[in-house]
Structures are given as structure tokens and as C-alpha cells.
Structure 1
Amino acid sequence: MERKIIWEDHAIELFIKAIEWISKDSVFQAEKVEKAILEKIEELPNYPEKYPPDKFKLQNPGLFRAFETHSYRVSYKFNDQEIRILRIRHVRQSPKAY
């Protein structure tokens, strides 16, 4: 059984805002970043342990992971049934522990 990808509402909002922000300068670059992030997320069901544990998650048992691409950090949580996309933030934004 393949894990289902579920986006938190807040993560969707952050992702849309990020792509809109980038597109103000370059639609091409915005499409490139969007594609890169979505491709990495689509690969997660096959191997969610691929990326390191999220260093900003307090008391992380290893199920909260994060990856970076094109200066954006994507945090997610996984279990046997699903992968939950939690947040997407630019790496220059102040990190938030959770």
C-alpha cells in the first residue's frame, strides 16, 4: 500500500504565496521552483526516510523530516498510511520550532 500525500491547509497557503512572490520577478523561475518542490514531494511515498529528521521539530522521534530545494524548506511528517506536508518556508525566514 502506497502512502497518501496530504497537504495541511497552512502549507498550501505558504506554497501559493511563495510561488506568487517568485513570479513577481520571473514566471519562469516560479515554475521551476514549483516543479522542483512538487517532484520531491511526489517521490516521498517511495522512501519518506530519504531526508534527515527535521532539526526544528522539538522532541522529534524521527517521523518529522525536511528537505530544501531552491532555497525553500519543506517539512513533513510520515507514518505507514500517509505523508503530511506541514510547511514550506524560505530558508532565510527565521526558523520556527514546533
Structure 2
Amino acid sequence: MVVVWSNSAKAELKKAYEYIALDSLQNAQMVRDTLIDLTIELLEHPEKYPSDKFKKDNDGTWRAFEKYHYRVSYRILQNQIRIVRLRHTSKSPLNY
């Protein structure tokens, strides 16, 4: 099993890093690295976090967690964990 980030999730992580780096490069690196590490940890415990409450008709494979005011939504597939989106919790969630 592998962790795969969608292009939009990667772009959002980059934007978050660049925004935080305007004030503190050290904090930007910490937030980025922690979020990446948490997604890698999903390989051992993919169902660690609760079902994504914003996913309509969730079959239990769509899950999400929050760290440092960022929400990471992911989907557990047969041979990968797909990081679907990343957003700051101050932004309105998308129902999908």
C-alpha cells in the first residue's frame, strides 16, 4: 500500500507552506512535515480517523483529520491511501 496525494492536495500543501513561511520558515517546515508524516502513518492504521462527515453517501472509505487548523481528507482504496484534499479549517468545507 502507498500514500498518493492528488494534485490539488499537493498544491494546497504548497500554498500553506508558502503562506506560513512568510512569517516563519521553521513553522512552515514543521506544519508541512507533520502533515506529511501523519499521512504516512495512515499506512499502518488507515482507519485511525473518523469517517469524513462532509462526504455524501460515505461508504466508510472516506476519512478525514485535522492538525494545525488544516483538514486532510483521504480515501482508503485497495492498494493506496489517496489524499484527496487539504484545506484550512477557516474555509468552508465542500460537500462532495
**Shared topology, TM-score over 0.5?**
yes
Runs of 4+ deviating beyond 6 Å: none
TM-score (norm 2): 0.96
Q: Match of 2:58?
A: 60
Which amino acid is the alignment partner of residue 22 of structure 1?
Answer: I
Q: Structure 1: where are the runs of 5+ without partners? A: none
1:40 paired with 2:53, answer no
Query: 1:80: Cα distance to partner?
Result: 2.4
Report the structure, 1 or 2, having the larger helix content. Answer: 1
2: distance between equivalents of 1:42 and 1:64? Answer: 16
1: distance between equivalents of 2:71 and 2:90? Answer: 10
Matches within 5 A, 1:5-16: 5-16=3-14
1:77 paired with 2:69, answer no
2: distance between equivalents of 1:52 and 1:21? Answer: 28
2: distance between equivalents of 1:31 and 1:61? Answer: 34
Query: 1:36: Cα distance to partner?
Result: 1.0
Identity %, equivalent residues: 43
Q: Structure 2: where are the runs of 5+ without partners? A: none
SS in 2 for 1:25: coil
